[in-house]
């Protein structure tokens, strides 16, 4: 059983990502509605993947990526950015900070599933 | 007057007229893209003025225009950035030039201009030092810049441009309490400036803890900020000292006379002025399109349900997605066009301050901060009158006369600070004076007299101060020429409520009063949460809410007849929307709470169901239903269905305030 942390402030997008992941089968999802909440959830259990939005109130996706990459405990934890086409530049910055990959909103379910499968080896 | 002098005056006036036109153009365009030709033209007109006045032997104007020419040369060559500060400075000096020209035309002495020249020179030198180095970001550590989103980087640049100081607060919290602690720190920072980025870190942090590097901007010097924030701070960039508005020039400045501009047929400007009504109409059309888009999307979903996935259905789906994206872009662009820097209205208010302080013989230093803060043009225009009223109030009733101030050990001239900044989806406009403060006892007396409060009622200071927003309330013993005229604070509050904002007051005896007006950044299309209460659906604007929760009815407690819920250890007053509107209460063990309002006005609205977010176009209820309390308007959603939009502020007022301070709004 793999565990994925979804960090996204829009409840709708979160539900959408969850639905897409559910189709993959043996995966459970934990959801955070902000970067802030993600920080609280991170130490509570082991995750196999983080899927995060970039533009969120309080702590944004880039700050979250930077935190994860600079923390010994999470250094190898893969991160996929899910962000809109309007944040091209932000996505580049996220990759530079050490994100594993990205998917542009709006995305096809197959697109997200492919990158998840590739990243966590389903 | 000699004819040669007449000739000079005519020529000088024409050049000053031209300069005024150019500075106005710079003011309108320096944020959106300045035309270098405009800067160049202003530089040249100063150059010409210098030549002409030198020729006629008008020494003062020669020296002054020479100093301004040098300043403009630096701007022209990019050694000095064009900012609101520079624009303001140019206007100020244009006024001085006009003033001296007037005096020359009346055969009066030019007066001593050496102070003005020194002022220009030191202003120029101070700016030039700053523009050194290509990017303002050069002063910031790369490690910090890397994690900024594009927007945060923009805010950082804008703040640097404004001359605010950039500080870094480092805090370490334990993992189980960091949320409340960080919230407190964030609040303290926001009270002093703008929070730009919150970077969590685990470097040099003990096990079981988490560190945060918060980068924020503030106009205040590090000592003041440190005191307020209460954490160790690093200064990344120190703030520039703010220049107070110079005391008014003694002689009256003549109103500029518009003159036909036949020498410039081709304009150097590429901007167009558009009537805000036209933009309103575009926005309305965008709103209607958004509804149509929603319908297409829904049809797409229904088609999938009926016919499954086929090529045509897929096409509809794709098209509706494109439509959605483009519409969002269009909407953003139109909203952006409507945005104006708040400096536009600040300049107007500054003139009023100058005029009134002279009329009633009080020396006022007006200090402006955050003129670059952007606000919807409509909101900016709507807020200018309430602001003017508040400023007049401050000058008239707040700031004491010089001798009284001296007696209190204050400096003779009063200070009025007008500050604007963005806070989430809102713009906060702060008006702060260092006057006598609101006389709490007088307000209480008056409130009792007006029957708003009972004699001897146990009221907090805040509750008493809130009385001044009550209709017809005034403590003015003598109606002065300036702020009398029957406009009361209730009108200010009313106006803010209509605009979706609210007002707060802080006051301290002999220290001064601060009014904080909070407004949404834009109007028109808003995101809203659609909720169900009984059989009705309502929209709650997202800008006024912070979160939603499920509340088990068994967890609701009653304290002093108020229903409350403990949210993360803090008491959250609850409002049952069904009770408010007189619906039958739902039979259920749990409700949803929509948390709205800020600070002390934070409440939970209990509703039966949450339907999700939606973009809505708020339409006015029309004159007939305007008096109905609790609604901000109506909105059309989905299949030609109309729902009412809740006016969160009046709900909070009617419930929280009424419960706290006795019946105020009856």
Contact between chains at B149 and A70 (C-beta distance less than 8 A): no
Whether pLDDT at B214 is above 80: yes
**Is the model more confident about B82 or about B480?**
B82
ipTM comes to 0.84
* Residue B429 pLDDT exceeds 90: yes
Q: A87 and B179: CB-CB below 8 Å?
A: no
CATH of B138-237, one of 3.40.190.10, 3.30.70.20, 3.90.1300.10, 3.30.70.1150: 3.30.70.1150
Q: What is the mean pLDDT of residues B283-310?
A: 78
**In contact, B158 and B372? CB cutoff 8 Å:** yes
More confident residue, B91 or B662: B91
Residues of chain A predicted below pLDDT 50: none
Say yes or no to pLDDT of B259 above 60. Answer: no
Residue of A nearest to B153 (CA): A90
Nearest to A70 among B152, B186, B203 (CB): B203
DSSP state of B394: I
In DSSP terms, B401 is beta-bridged to: none
Q: How far is B529 from chain A (nearest CA, A)?
A: 11
The rounded distance, in Å, linking the Cα atoms of B381 and B345 is 8
Confidence at B263, pLDDT banded by 50, 70, 90:
very low
User: Higher-confidence residue: B130 or B349?
Assistant: B349
Sheet holding B557-559, edge to edge: B545-552, B590-596, B603-607, B570-576, B562-567, B557-559
B631-637 and B641-646 beta bridge pairing: antiparallel
A58 touching B (Cβ < 8 Å): yes
pLDDT score recorded for residue A32: 93
Taking phi first (over 0 means left), then psi (-120 to 50 degrees means alpha), and beta for anything else, what does residue B534 get?
Answer: left
C-beta atoms of A70 and B201 within 8 A: yes
> For B435-466, how does the pLDDT look when each residue is reduced to its tens digit (9 = 90+)?
888 888 888 888 888 777 888 778 888 888 88
* Confidence label for B412 from pLDDT (cuts 50, 70 and 90): confident
Chain B residues touching residue A55 (CB < 8 angstroms): 149, 151
B-chain residues within 8 Å CB-CB of A64?
200
Looking at residue B142, its pLDDT comes to 74
Backbone angles phi, psi at B341, to 5 degrees: -65, 140
A95 touches B at CB < 8 Å: no
Q: What is the dihedral of CA B463, B464, B465, B470, to 10 degrees?
A: 90
pLDDT at A114: 92
- Identify which of B115, B150, B53 has the alpha carbon closest to the alpha carbon of residue B247: B115
Please answer whether residues A78 and A29 qualify as being in contact, where contact means their C-beta atoms are separated by less than 8 angstroms. no
Section B312-325 average pLDDT:
85
Task: Provide the CA B350 distance to its chain's centre, in angstroms.
Answer: 16
Which pLDDT band holds residue B7 (cuts at 50, 70, 90)?
confident
Buried b or exposed e, range B612-646, using 16+ CB within 10 angstroms: eebbbbbeebeeeeeeeebbbbbbbbeeeeebbbb
* pLDDT over 90 percentage in chain B: 10
pLDDT confidence of residue B260: 41
CATH of domain A2-120: 3.40.50.2300
CATH topology of domain B3-131: 1.20.120
pLDDT at B639 exceeding the cut of 70: no
pLDDT at residue B246, as a whole number: 41
- Closest by CA position to B610, among listed A4, A21, A15, A34: A15
Report the pLDDT averaged over residues B182-186.
86
What confidence score (pLDDT) does residue B523 get?
64
Assign B663 a pLDDT band (cuts: 50, 70, 90): very low
Is A63 in Cβ contact with B199 (below 8 Å)?
yes
Inter-chain CB proximity B146 and A96 less than 8 Å: yes
Residue B608 pLDDT? 92
Confidence of residue B432 (pLDDT cuts 50, 70, 90): very high
| Domain at B525-661, CATH from 2.40.50.180, 3.40.50.720, 2.40.110.10, 3.10.129.10 | 2.40.50.180
Cβ neighbours of A58 in B, within 8 Å: 186, 198
What is the percent of chain B with per-residue pLDDT over 70, rounded to a whole number? 85
Q: When comparing pLDDT for A59 and B585, which is higher?
A: A59
Q: What is the pLDDT of residue B203?
A: 81
pLDDT of B644 higher than 80: yes
Residues of B in contact with A71 (CB under 8 A): 202
Say if the Cβ atoms of A36 and B179 lie within 8 Å.
Answer: yes
Domain boundaries, chain B: 3-131, 138-237, 276-336, 342-520, 525-661
B174: pLDDT confidence band, cut at 50, 70 and 90?
confident
Q: Report CB contact under 8 Å: B210, A39.
A: yes
Q: Where are the domains of chain A?
A: 2-120
Token code pair at residue B382 = 């709507």
Q: Is A26 on the interface with B (CB under 8 A)?
A: no
Nearest to B175 among A43, A67, A97 (CB): A43
pLDDT at B33 over 70: no
Whole-number Å distance between alpha carbons of B486 and B267: 45
pLDDT score for B244:
44
Q: Which residue has the higher pLDDT, B261 or A38?
A: A38
Q: Given CB atoms, is A67 within the 8 Å cutoff of chain B?
A: yes
CA separation for the pair B200, B213 (Å, rounded): 6
| Closest approach of A119 to chain B, Cα-based (Å) | 23
Q: What is the pLDDT of residue B623?
A: 64
CB contact under 8 A, A67 and B150: no
Q: Which residues in B lie closer than 8 A to residue A57 (C-beta atoms)? A: 424
For B53-76, how does the pLDDT look when each residue is reduced to its tens digit (9 = 90+)?
877 788 889 889 989 988 988 887
Who wins on pLDDT, B56 or B385? B385
Structure tokens at B273: 């002025």
Which chain A residue has the Cα nearest residue B328?
A86
pLDDT at B592: 93
Domain B342-520 top-level CATH class: alpha beta
**Mean pLDDT over the full length of chain B:** 79
Answer whether A55 sits within 8 Å of B203, measured CB to CB.
no
Residue B605's pLDDT band, with cuts at 50, 70 and 90, is very high
Q: How confident is residue B41, by pLDDT bands cut at 50, 70 and 90?
A: confident
Q: Give the contacts of B173 (CB within 8 A, at least 6 positions apart).
A: B181, B182, B209, B210, B211, B212
Instruction: Answer yes or no: do A12 and B612 touch at CB < 8 A.
Output: yes
- In this prediction, residue B157 has a pLDDT band, given cuts at 50, 70 and 90, of confident
- State whether residue B558 is helix, strand or coil: strand
Q: Is the pLDDT of residue B483 over 80?
A: no
Residue of chain B with shortest Cα separation from A94? B147
B616, B525 in Cβ contact below 8 A? yes
Could you tell me which of B529, B651, B624, B532 has the C-alpha nearest to residue B583?
B532
* pLDDT given at position B253: 41
Q: Which pLDDT belongs to residue B306?
A: 84
pLDDT band at B191 (very low <50, low <70, confident <90, very high): confident
Q: CB pairs below 8 Å between A and B: how many? A: 69
Cβ contact A55–B149 (<8 Å): yes
């Amino acid at each position: 059983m793999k565990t994925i942390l979804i960090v996204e402030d829009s409840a709708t997008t979160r539900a959408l990502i969850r639905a897409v992941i559910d189709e993959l089968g043996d995966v459970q999802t934990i959801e955070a509605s902000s970067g802030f909440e993600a920080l609280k959830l991170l130490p509570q259990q082991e995750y196999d993947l983080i899927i995060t939005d970039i533009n969120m109130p309080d702590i944004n996706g880039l700050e979250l990526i930077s935190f994860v990459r600079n923390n010994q405990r999470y250094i190898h934890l893969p991160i996929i950015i899910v962000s809109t086409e309007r944040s091209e530049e932000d996505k580049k910055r996220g990759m530079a900070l050490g994100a594993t990959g990205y998917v542009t909103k709006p995305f096809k379910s197959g697109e997200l599933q492919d990158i998840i499968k590739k990243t966590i080896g389903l | 007057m000699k004819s040669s002098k007449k000739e000079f005056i005519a020529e000088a006036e024409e050049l000053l007229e031209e300069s005024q036109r150019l500075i106005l153009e710079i003011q309108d365009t320096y944020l959106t893209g300045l035309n270098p030709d405009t800067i160049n033209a202003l530089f040249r007109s100063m150059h010409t003025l210098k030549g002409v006045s030198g020729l006629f032997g008008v020494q003062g104007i020669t020296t002054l225009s020479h100093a301004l020419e040098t300043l403009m040369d630096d701007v022209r060559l990019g050694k000095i950035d064009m900012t609101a500060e520079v624009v303001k400075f140019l206007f100020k000096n244009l006024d001085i030039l006009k003033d001296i020209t007037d005096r020359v035309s009346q055969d009066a002495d030019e007066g001593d201009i050496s102070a003005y020249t020194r002022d220009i020179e030191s202003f120029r030198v101070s700016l030039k030092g700053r523009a050194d180095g290509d990017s303002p970001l050069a002063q910031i550590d790369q490690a910090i810049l890397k994690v900024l989103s594009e927007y945060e980087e923009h805010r950082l640049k804008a703040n640097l441009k404004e001359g605010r100081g950039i500080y870094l607060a480092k805090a370490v919290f334990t993992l189980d309490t960091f949320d409340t602690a960080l919230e407190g720190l964030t609040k303290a920072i926001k009270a002093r400036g703008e929070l730009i980025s919150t970077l969590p870190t685990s470097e040099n942090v003990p096990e079981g803890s988490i560190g945060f590097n918060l980068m924020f901007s503030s106009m205040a010097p590090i000592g003041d900020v440190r005191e307020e924030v209460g954490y160790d701070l690093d200064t990344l960039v120190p703030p520039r000292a703010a220049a107070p508005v110079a005391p008014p020039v003694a002689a009256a400045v003549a109103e500029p006379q518009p003159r036909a501009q036949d020498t410039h047929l081709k304009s150097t400007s590429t901007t167009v002025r558009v009537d805000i009504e036209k933009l309103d109409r575009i926005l309305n059309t965008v709103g209607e399109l958004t509804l149509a888009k929603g319908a297409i999307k829904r049809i797409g979903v229904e088609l999938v349900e009926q016919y499954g996935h086929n090529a045509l259905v897929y096409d509809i789906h794709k098209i509706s997605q494109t439509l959605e994206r483009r519409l969002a872009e269009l909407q953003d662009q139109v909203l952006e066009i409507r945005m104006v820097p708040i400096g536009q209205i600040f300049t107007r208010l500054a003139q009023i301050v100058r005029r009134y302080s002279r009329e009633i013989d009080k020396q006022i230093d007006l200090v402006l901060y955050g003129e670059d803060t952007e606000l919807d043009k409509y909101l900016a225009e709507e807020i200018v009158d309430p602001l003017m009223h508040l400023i007049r109030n401050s000058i008239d009733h707040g700031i004491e006369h010089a001798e009284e101030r001296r007696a209190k050990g204050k400096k003779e001239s009063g200070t009025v600070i007008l500050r604007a900044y963005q806070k989430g989806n809102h713009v906060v406009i702060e008006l702060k004076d260092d006057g006598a403060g609101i006389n709490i006892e007088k307000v209480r007396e008056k409130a009792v007299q007006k029957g708003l409060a009972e004699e001897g009622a146990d009221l907090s200071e805040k509750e008493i101060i809130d009385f001044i927003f009550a209709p017809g309330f005034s403590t003015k013993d003598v109606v002065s020429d300036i702020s009398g005229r029957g406009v009361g604070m209730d009108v200010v509050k009313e106006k803010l409520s209509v605009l979706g904002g609210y007002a707060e007051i802080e006051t301290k005896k002999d220290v001064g009063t601060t009014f904080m007006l909070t407004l949404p950044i834009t109007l028109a299309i808003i995101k809203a949460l659609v909720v169900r209460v009984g059989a009705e659906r309502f929209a709650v604007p997202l800008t006024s809410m912070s979160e939603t929760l499920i509340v088990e009815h068994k967890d609701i407690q009653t304290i002093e007849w108020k229903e409350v819920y403990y949210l993360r250890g803090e008491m959250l007053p609850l409002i049952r929307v069904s009770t408010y509107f007189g619906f039958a209460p739902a039979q259920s063990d749990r409700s949803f709470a929509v948390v709205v309002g800020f600070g002390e006005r934070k409440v939970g609205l209990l509703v039966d169901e949450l339907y999700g977010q939606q973009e809505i176009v708020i339409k006015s209820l029309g004159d007939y239903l305007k008096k109905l309390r609790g609604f901000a308007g109506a909105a059309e959603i989905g299949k030609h269905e109309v729902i009412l939009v809740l006016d969160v502020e009046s709900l909070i007022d009617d419930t929280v305030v009424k419960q706290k301070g006795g019946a105020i709004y009856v």
